[in-house]
Chain A
Amino acid sequence: MSEQNVTENTQASAGEEATLIPAVDIFEDAQGITLKADLPGVSRDRLSIQVDKDTLSIEGDVQIDIPDGTEPLYADLRATHFRRSFTLSQELEADRISAQLNDGELTLHVPKRAEVQPRKIEVKVG
């Protein structure tokens, strides 16, 4: 085997090691926002979820057991650090975020403040 493929999601910032951008699905319903992220190879103790003001950051370190003397033959994944950030809006209760990690799949739920009701805006036409 001699193919070498470059991952699509590799990013190298100045002075940092290469990081991977995890794929996410984001949904919203009346209760709040649900985010699901793929973090294969990340166990609970290597996952970090932080909220700083209005920024939600998800970080994880991939860990796989590589025996001594292993030479790479083929690598789609060439970095071991996942990171992605999002800005949250005011009505989301960042301090009540809940998170679950199963089989590398992260499920984050950010609840909305109960009292925020959508106000429909009339659009004048013509």
Chain B
Amino acid sequence: MFGYLSGSDHDLYSQLERMRREMDAIFSGQPGRAGIRSVASGSWPAINVGASQDRVDVWVFAAGLDPTSLDVTLQQNLLTISGERRITPPEGAELYRRERFDGGFRRVLTLPEDVDPDRVEAAYRDGVLHVIVHRREEVKPRRIQIG
């Protein structure tokens, strides 16, 4: 009788998505080994890591970060990124939804072993922290003459 009312997320997709999330939570964990420093699926912020021949790129999708709270350190090939995003609700307002993450985060990523800790750049723009870690120059194989 009540059919489709717009009081909450009623559509079929949302219900399926919620069920999938609950199933994931119960059966979570890949069949395999998780990194010892890894975090739970869906943690904030989302992070993507890509590697090319001469560098490793890390993108941290964190909107509204407080730039003074950002800390990026590289120790050998362990990259630690931490920061804070605080949310202050407006005074005297009624709340309907609070989905955005409020608080601090710290992620530790194990990068490929040939990264160079002396050549790291980081920039924060449009809510994305982009860290570039250059890789050490490849030691080229030396051809040995047989004389």
Contact = CB atoms under 8 A, between A and B. Distances in A.
Contact of A6 (B41, B59, B99, B109): B41
Contacts of B55: 67
Interface in A13-38: 23-29, 34, 36-38
Contacts of B94: 27-29
Interface residues of B, number: 52
B128 A34 contact: no
Interface in B92-133: 92-101, 109-112, 124, 126-128, 130
A39 B126 CA distance: 8
Contacts of B90: 27, 29, 34
Interface string B62-79: 111100000000000000
Interface residues of A, number: 46
A70 B38 CA distance: 22
A25 B89 contact: yes
A5 interface: yes
Contacts, number: 143
B93 A34 contact: yes
Given A3-B38, A28-B96, A74 B46 contact: no
Contacts of B97: 24-26
B61 A41 contact: yes
Contacts of B35: 1-3
Contacts of A3: 30, 34-35, 38
A43 B128 CA distance: 10
Contacts of B62: 40, 104
Interface string A43-81: 100000000000000000011111111111111110000
A74 B100 contact: no
B100 A38 contact: yes
Given A27-B93, A40-B126, A104-B126, A77 B48 contact: yes
B44 to A, nearest CB: 8
B46 A103 contact: no
Contacts of A68: 52
Contact of B128 (A2, A40, A102): A40
A73 B127 contact: no
Closest 4 CB pairs of A and B: A104-B127, A104-B63, A40-B127, A76-B46
Interface of A: 1-8, 11, 23-29, 34, 36-43, 62-77, 87, 102-105
